Structure 1
Amino acid sequence: MAPRVSIGVPIYNGASLLSQSLDCLARQSLRDFEVILSDNGSTDATPDICARFAAKDSRFRHVRHTKTLPVLENFYFARDAADAPYFLWRAYDDLSDDTYLEVLADLLDARAETVLAVPMVRRDASAGTTAREFPYPDIDSAPRLSRLHAQMFENSACWFYGMWRLSACRELTGRIHALYPDPWGADHLAILAAALGDGVRGTNATAFRQRIIHETRDYMPRPKPGFAEMRDRNARFGATCRALVAASDLAAAEKRKVEGWLPRYVRRRCHRRDRIWKAWLRQTLRH
């Protein structure tokens, strides 16, 4: 019998914090789950940690790739290996309350229309960041467009790590990847697609804990994008947003209103205007 929840953990060289994250999952009050440890050809102690958890707890399954896949391929591998009706991703360096799975699964149970259940997000302070809380806004009884506006502009990228209805997750993320095969901003596009279908509901009864620890997050270094790359990516991100709005079941007048929000949304959720300007300035000064 399939478990109630599948958890995909895509990992590459996550040994520094992986054990803490997996211990957090093992403590969950909801016990009926599986964890898919998708080890992306790690070269540190990650395989040993994964093997140890799989040996002591049959709910943990270690899959080791012999070569390192692109980031999104490893994310989608974890998604496609899932067996449960509910699914979530978990980064190797993030944590949550021990009630996380139980509360979010109950939220999905409550309404068949919900495809993404999201928590309060707490971001830890570390070098270069400040501690912040992102509570779920009190909007679930508000009119649909009011909910959508809040879910677009008051959300956190960490909502992507909420709990998905697996069938919807596969459909939405597959559709987005076909339009926008780029890891930068793909999380926000998935949240937007769910929100456009009125499928996002949230709670502050449980929390996701995001740890941005720069010294451990350079495991797949990428160069800082330049001016032309930022401009191009914003254009592709915006085109994908427009395609998602066009495909939604909103009325024509509602679609026009949402389309009016999109320029600000793109600048906020992809590359911000000030960062594009700084990239242009760097390019100009080099020449």
Structure 2
Amino acid sequence: MSNELPLISIGMPLYNAEKHIRQSLDSLLRQTHTNFEIIISDNCSTDNTVGIVQEYAARDSRLKLYQQSENIGPIPNFQYVLQKAGGAYFMWRSYDDWSDDNYLEALGQLLDRDSSIDLAVANIVKVKESEQKPVELYIEKANGSTSFSSSLHMLKQSHPGWMYGLFRRKVALAAINDVVENFPHVWGWDHLILFPTVSRNRVAASDDTRFFQRETGISHSRYRPKLPREQVSLATDFYQVCLRSYQKSDAPFLAKLAMALYLLRYTSSKTEKFTRILRIALKLRKP
């Protein structure tokens, strides 16, 4: 057996995934690019998730299963699979999403060809109750620019599904380490993972493959904050993580100043709209 590291590591954090896990794994194992590993971390599932994964791992040595001794929470579990990765490129895959068979090949080629790209993404198709809705891509060529206009364009076009694109592993690791350390929330964390790469205009897209993202509403009901004080805490932490990230970039002073102002609007759109927080607060204060 070869001791060479795979080019691509795929991280799949799991919890009670038995309903859709087979479809997701089958999609990965059909990939035309085959030099990859699948790192799976089960977060103390109470259904048959582990049994299904063990069945697949017995047939394909590229699957590596880790079982947490206690539930470590969703974001640390995403971090865990990345920390176990050895490939130069890394991709997260949710248990209920899937992609075209050439997904890894098409996105890997983008990263291979251009060192100014840190994240390769594809056409996204949102799936809800079997209804499919494509998400249009309007991405200009990545150039690593941190000018305000360049960053603004990319931030406006970014989609949370981009988090399941193909990263350079070290870039993804730096992003999630920062989130785990400085953002004690789940709602909105995907945008923070993307922000350092998107705001530096280091994203490229392929029109030759598709990513299918299932919308279940679970995250909305489970993790979205309900009380104004929770929403304010979320928005404050989100703003600070974004601002600190952009301030560390090589953007010119005026770009950093403009971004500090724009991030107020960006935070409102990606966490909780400030007007909504105010309405809820006023409603709760009524006798």
Q: Same fold (TM over 0.5)?
A: yes
Task: State the percentage of identical aligned residues.
Answer: 29
Deviations 1:155-188 (A, max 9, x none): 1101111111011111222133333232222211
CA displacement at 1:222 relative to structure 2: 4.5
Which amino acid counterpart does residue 209 of structure 1 have in structure 2? F
Bigger mean CA deviation after superposition, 69-78 or 173-182: 173-182
CA distance in 2 between counterparts of 1:223 and 1:169 reads 24
Question: What residue in structure 2 maps to residue 194 of structure 1?
Answer: 197
Question: What residue in structure 2 maps to residue 54 of structure 1?
Answer: 57
CA distance in 2 between counterparts of 1:223 and 1:121 reads 23
Deviations 1:113-148 (A, max 9, x none): 221111111101339xx7532232141168944442
C-alpha contact (below 8 Å) 1:123/1:210 kept by paired residues: yes
Question: What residue in structure 1 maps to residue 248 of structure 2?
Answer: 247
CA distance in 1 between counterparts of 2:223 and 2:265 reads 26
C-alpha contact (below 8 Å) 2:235/2:268 kept by paired residues: yes
Aligned CA distance change for structure 1 residues 282 and 122 (closer, same or farther; 3 Å) = farther
Question: What residue in structure 2 maps to residue 118 of structure 1?
Answer: 121
Among residues 39, 42, 45, which one is paired with 2:45 in the alignment?
Answer: 42
Question: What residue in structure 1 maps to residue 266 of structure 2?
Answer: 265
CA distance in 1 between counterparts of 2:176 and 2:70 reads 24
Q: Where in structure 1 are there 5+ consecutive unaligned residues?
A: none
Bigger mean CA deviation after superposition, 111-120 or 269-278: 269-278
1:74-153 equivalence runs, <5 A: 74-126=77-129, 131-140=132-141, 144=145, 145=147, 146-153=149-156
C-alpha contact (below 8 Å) 2:9/2:89 kept by paired residues: yes
Q: Where in structure 2 are there 5+ consecutive unaligned residues?
A: none
CA displacement at 1:250 relative to structure 2: 0.4
CA displacement at 1:199 relative to structure 2: 2.0
TM-score in terms of structure 1 length: 0.90
Question: What residue in structure 2 maps to residue 230 of structure 1?
Answer: 231
Aligned CA distance change for structure 1 residues 251 and 107 (closer, same or farther; 3 Å) = same
C-alpha contact (below 8 Å) 1:54/1:60 kept by paired residues: yes
Deviations 1:206-256 (A, max 9, x none): 111111124xx37x9447521111012111111222111211110112212
Aligned CA distance change for structure 1 residues 247 and 176 (closer, same or farther; 3 Å) = farther
CA displacement at 1:150 relative to structure 2: 2.4
C-alpha contact (below 8 Å) 2:13/2:78 kept by paired residues: yes
TM-score in terms of structure 2 length: 0.90
Among residues 178, 183, 186, which one is paired with 2:181 in the alignment?
Answer: 178
Q: How many residues align?
A: 282
CA displacement at 1:257 relative to structure 2: 2.3
CA distance in 1 between counterparts of 2:250 and 2:144 reads 15
Which amino acid counterpart does residue 36 of structure 1 have in structure 2? I
2:128 match: secondary structure: coil
Which amino acid counterpart does residue 57 of structure 2 have in structure 1? A
C-alpha contact (below 8 Å) 1:108/1:117 kept by paired residues: yes
Bigger mean CA deviation after superposition, 245-254 or 78-87: 245-254
